[in-house]
Amino acid sequence: MNAPLGFESRTLYIKQPERDQIADSSDVAGLVAKVLADVRANGDAAVARYSREFDKADLDQFEVSAADRAAAVDELDPQTRADTEFAIENVRRFAQAQLGTILPLEVEPLPGLHLGHRVIPIQRVGAYVPGGRFPLLSAPIMTIVPGKVAGCDEVVACLPPNAHRAMIAGCHLSGADRIFRIGGAQAIAAMAFGTETVPSVDKIMGPGNAFVNEAKRQVFGPVGIDQLAGPSEIFIVADSTGDPELIATDLLGQAEHDVRTRVGLITTDRSLAEATVREVARQLETLATAAVAGQSWRDYGEVVLCEDEAAMIAYSDHVAAEHLQVHTADPHAFSHKLRNYGSLFIGENASVVYSDKNVGTNHTLPTMGAGRYTGGLWVGSYVKIATHQWLDESAVAQVAPPAIRQSGSEGLEGHQKAAAIRFDRLRVPA
């Protein structure tokens, strides 16, 4: 695997990835299409069948009752509940602050011409909450809390039936209006099309495995989605001031998510690059999750040595990492030179783990280069900016003549008449 086009003369792999994430993507489209069509046609019966087949779960009902929700909360260890509520409050505060920046608009660019927009919460959203190998207690917080802050009428959560009961508690504490024990592509289908028990939603949020991702891709159109998220990523840009122990720790902290996690160091300092490779190997000897993190590091880990700062910035912007940490002598100044990333972590104290868990920024972020054109999930994902306009007669007098002429030159007689009739009816001053 070569460095990205245009960087060959200015970059050198100290540690090269052995596999390519995109080439390794499973061909799941056919199976997902079958699941979606089946659920659309057969509703709950199809959902139940796939729950038995894929999740080995035979449920009498999909929806978690109010009593079971309360019981799941009561079962939480007190410290776990306190930590969960701490994270919820931080995410809520940040989402409220973000929502405060999204303002209605009314302007009068020409006399009598009034234009504007409204900020309208999406009526019903679906939050897919992944189960994973571990109970990811932060996952429901990130997809449910912003929807409640945005003012959505209803937030529907789906999580795999074998997910840890603490995840049900997390959905409840985060404010989910309804919770269903349905996972995988069948959950996306149920929320997209609706079944006898699951209501159809207007937009689906949240990450998942390859089947969930493909299902979101296939239902997009009539139903909105937040984004298509691939395996997780972390890259660190560092100069000679970088600390190899900190860098290795953060890389492995993300690598333990999944064997397909992409992790990397981009640096201008060869000694730091080589020391980081050694430090990763040292830490893997005692890391409890080394079976996963080690495979991720071996297959998708990379350490890139750059000729200068400009090459380091260019390579980072090409990667557009989901999580991008900045470990440089002046991280704040350096961060302003970067433009492509999901979320930016400025300085050595800003570890991805804090955002993953509780600081308040959302951890549902673009992957696989999507940071070049979009940011991550945020409260703005749960509202629509819908424009409006109204005109008095003075505005019609100004806009109608060019509209009539343009419609005529386009050969659109109906448009021309719609513009002209209003102009012709203007009251002529005495």
Single out the catalytic residue among 172, 257, 318, 323: 323
Please indicate whether residue 413 is annotated as part of the active site: no
Nearest to 265 by CA among 290, 284, 240, 292: 240
Please report how the helices 413-424 and 393-409 are oriented relative to each other, as an axis angle in degrees rounded to 10: 150
**Burial annotation 371-391 (CB, 10 A radius, 16+ → b, else e):** beeebbbbbbbbbeeeeeeeb
* Catalytic (active site) residue 256: no
Pick the closest to residue 35 from 21, 56, 51, 11 (CA basis). 51
The residues near 197 (Cβ < 8 Å, ≥ 6 apart) are 44, 61, 62, 63, 180
Phi, psi of 259 (to 5 degrees): -70, -10
Q: Are 95 and 379 in contact (CB under 8 A)?
A: yes
Identity of the residue numbered 377 = L
Which of 233, 279, 322, 348 is labelled catalytic? 322
> For 63, which DSSP code?
B
The closest of 235, 231, 244, 246 to 323, measured between CA atoms, is: 235
Q: Which residues are catalytic?
A: 322-323
